[in-house]
Chain A
Amino acid sequence: MKRLLLSVATLWLLSVLIFAGARMLPGNVGRAMLGPFADARAVEQLNHELGTDRPLLEQYATWIGGFVTGDLGESYAYRAPVAPFLWTALLNSAKLALVAFLMVVPLGLLGGTIAALYRDRAADRILSALGLAATIVPEFVSGIILILIFGVWLRWFPISATAPEGAGLLTQVYHLILPAIPLVLVLFGYIARMARAGMIEALDADYTRTAVLKGLSYPRVIWRHVLRNALLPTISVIATQTVYLIGGLVVIEILFQYQGIGSLIYTAANKKDFPMLQAGILSIGILFTATTLIADLLYALLDPRIRHGGDE
């Protein structure tokens, strides 16, 4: 309960910060919409229509009052309700993140496991070096290289991540594979390293030695005892990457012409579309708070030590 209240307080603080922060950006909304060459009277009129000429406190009250009752307000730029834009963007981002996860998690675990089993040998060295190299290549560089090879030259994959309307699941996934690869590259090294560390710790653990000594076959030891124990810390690392995968993909979304939450926030900030910007950032905030909260609760559930520590 205490945790829940804290989360709500955090989110409220975030809402105030976003609201104030957005309004501290220089320039006024009507001007940003109509452009520098529009007549001052037209700008004033637009600001009036949008209500951006009202007192700040009043604007905040209207917005947050609407927000908690599920009314996300109307976009300044598109003059249409924010909610459909937000849901589409969140759903799209979730789809892309899911495809990336489905690719990177097995690959990362496999890589980490192999590296741990062949510790300090060639396979380990190569995997670590590759993982590190892939992590430091920025998404827009790997993205463009991938497009040029697989989209332009070989034409195996579509360049746009947006599938045609009404496309089936497979087509949608097909469109998302190419944009997911740069994310896989960024995350692979990270996950593989965590998996390797967890594996090594588990391999060195007493219970593993016991299992080997009691005569279990090697693959069985790895599968039943080592992997299970090695995975826990890796999974928590993966969980922390969820928000990155959903909220931090502006570059990939722009490169692959995809309407995700990252590009929604980016364009809203550029255009001073405050209702859209606020809803976008706050939804990321809610997502982050929720994942952390769930992760904490799960940990507590799984590990009695944490549960007891938390109660003190």
Chain B
Amino acid sequence: MAKDRRLIDRLRRGRSEIENHLIDGLVDGRISRRDFMRHGSVLGLSLPLLSATTGAAGFELLLPSPARAATGGTIRVGQIVPAGAIDPVKIADGGGITVLSQVAENLVLSAPDLTAQPLLALSWSPNADGSVWTFKLRQGVKFHSGKEMTADDVVATFDRLTDPENGSNSLSAFTGVLSKGGTRKVDDYTVEFHLDAPNGGFPYVVSTDNYNAVILPADYAGDFEKDMNGTGPFKMVKYVPKQGASFERNPDYWGGAPNLDRVEITFYEDYQPQILAMLGGQLDVIEQIPVLQGAALLSNPDVTIISTPSSAHQEVHMRTDMAPFTDKRVRQAVALTLDRPKLVEGLMRGKAQIGNDSPFMPAFPSTDTSVAQRQIDLAQAKQLLEAAGMADGFEVELTTEKYLEIPQYAQVIQNAVQAIGGNIKLNIMDQGAYYGDAVPGNSPWLDSTMGITDYGHRGVPNVFLQAPLLSTGTWNSAHFNNKEYDGLVTSFVASLDLESQKDTAGKIQRLLLDETPIIYGYFYDFLTATRKGVTGVEPTAMSHLFLQRASV
């Protein structure tokens, strides 16, 4: 890009050192424009500034815009039935998130393009070491009850979620990041988060990625289903557990009243009935379709598939403390048998990105893309096995959950490993049985020698790097225990500046490729189906379904 020094100087004025470092990185060409946008948004650089700096025109925001000509109508949405009561504090599944996203909102939107964008917060910025983050709130936002949202509601929301007494589902996301009392009101529209430890990705912790963290009134009493009192674009009209929910336009929505008159969500027990209902013209949107079951829709000319790239993936863990995987050469050999481009094309119908055996998918701005991609190499795999003293092959049981494409993925691995004499026995169980009590000793997920586990989308890789891989991680099914790795992750998470993040990421990526406790074969797209003619449906890979700009 042309370097307009004067413009750059003007932009740099009044910015913090970290922010200016990012701007310099862009100017010097060390940081790509796209990475600059993504990382700048996390640091809280405002969007006008980001676009001014990059000269990008027409950057598409998922932000609610002032309402266009109201066209009205009702949109009919199909969705898997929420697993339990709709209580924002406890919700833990896609069905609940879809319902919640009609009526309530987070401070920050973790957008599909991996930028962090303002929702109920207008802007945010860290202190020098990233241990205190200050958030400026949007003014004039009203709950459906008519009361204005202020800092008191935000403080109450986060105190509620971080209090172990409340059994919040987001407790694991806040552990080591934010504790009760750490959220402080500065004035009515300013909140400070005093973190347990420096965290460069904190905006994501209060973003839609952490779906429980929607802002509720300070006096919320746990009875959300009664009126679903939030700040969202739609107001609840009726909610019938197990059956469905209907919503009407919120005329006072801060982003302008939505086009649609109504949203009707119908709950289904399974995907197939939703697909049939859409084919029969009875649904406008299916919030999520799995790629294999949804094949009938993928090629249907009357259906538009919204393919949202995501960091969701299926981790193939190998117990580093159990035979035959105690030797890392065996783990590497298994990883080398997979033909990943074929896997993405065949199993995932092209709706996925190839993985390189670390959680750093290529699209994360912090990913070091100079690290070479692991490719199928049977000769090397055989050599490695031989060197590990397993020239005659090995036997192992692969335990996994019956969910999405996982059983088929397990079969692909089973066949691939046969080429090097590996004999894998499959044990595919019901999801509940696979996770068990989710504590070591009582969970096939955490106890099995080899297994496959589904992980949902996150806007930054932090969660994937921590619980499943740290030696103290609670989801560490590979029983990976590597002090060097632990140290690298701690410094990655604390780091505010993109270049040092990238530098640490490169080290982590190389370390994980070498150790291979987990195979990351692909990161799969989140697929939403809409009937032809339906526009403006904006899903996230976390199961939010934003309909404020939709029309039918």
Residues of A near any B CB (own CB < 8 A):
26-28, 30-46, 49, 76-80, 85, 144, 147-148, 151-152, 155, 158-160, 162, 253-257, 259, 263-264, 266-267, 270-272
Contact = CB atoms under 8 A, between A and B. Distances in A.
A257 B166 contact: no
Interface of B: 81, 83-85, 87, 90, 92-93, 164-169, 171-172, 175, 241-243, 266-270, 272-273, 276-277, 279-282, 432-433, 435-439, 443, 445, 467, 474-475
B171 A38 contact: yes
Contacts of B175: 39
Contacts of A35: 83, 92-93, 169, 435
Contacts of A270: 432
16 contacts: A32-B432, A35-B92, A35-B435, A36-B443, A36-B475, A37-B92, A39-B164, A41-B167, A43-B167, A78-B84, A80-B85, A85-B241, A85-B242, A254-B273, A263-B269, A270-B432
Contacts of A76: 84
A37 B277 contact: no
Contacts of B171: 38-39, 41-42
B445 A36 contact: yes
Contacts of B241: 78, 80, 85
A77 B83 contact: yes
A60 B121 CA distance: 49
Contacts of A255: 272-273, 276
B278 to A, nearest CB: 9
Contacts of A28: 437
A149 to B, nearest CB: 11
Contact of B280 (A39, A79, A147, A272): A147
Contacts of A27: 432-433, 435-437
Contacts of B165: 45
A40 B87 CA distance: 19
B276 A147 contact: yes
A276 B190 CA distance: 45
A159 to B, nearest CB: 4
Given A162-B243, A270-B432, A151 B276 contact: yes
B164 A144 contact: no
Given A35-B93, A259-B243, A267-B81, A26 B436 contact: yes
Contacts, number: 135
B167 A159 contact: no
Contacts of B435: 27, 31, 35-36
Nearest to A151: B280
Nearest to A32: B432
Given A49-B167, A77-B84, A160 B93 contact: no
B382 to A, nearest CB: 36
A266 B436 CA distance: 19
Nearest to B92: A35
Nearest to B165: A45
A-B CB proximity, top 6 nearest? A45-B167, A39-B171, A36-B435, A35-B92, A39-B172, A77-B84
Contacts of B277: 159-160, 257
B85 A78 contact: yes
Contacts of B164: 39, 41-42, 45
A164 to B, nearest CB: 10
B85 A77 contact: yes
A152 B84 contact: no
A285 B473 CA distance: 46
Contacts of B276: 144, 147-148, 151-152, 159, 255
Contacts of B167: 30, 34, 41-46, 49
Contacts of B90: 33-34, 46
Contacts of B273: 159, 254-257
A267 B443 CA distance: 22
Contacts of B279: 148, 151-152
A147 B280 CA distance: 8
A37 B475 contact: yes
B368 to A, nearest CB: 27
B439 A155 contact: no
B457 to A, nearest CB: 13
A41 B438 CA distance: 12
Q: Name the residue among A160, A257, A267 with the largest chain B CB count within 10 angstroms.
A: A257
A161 B16 CA distance: 61
A27 B437 CA distance: 5
A157 to B, nearest CB: 9
B438 A36 contact: yes
B436 A152 contact: no
Given A31-B438, A160-B266, A45 B169 contact: no
A151 B277 CA distance: 8
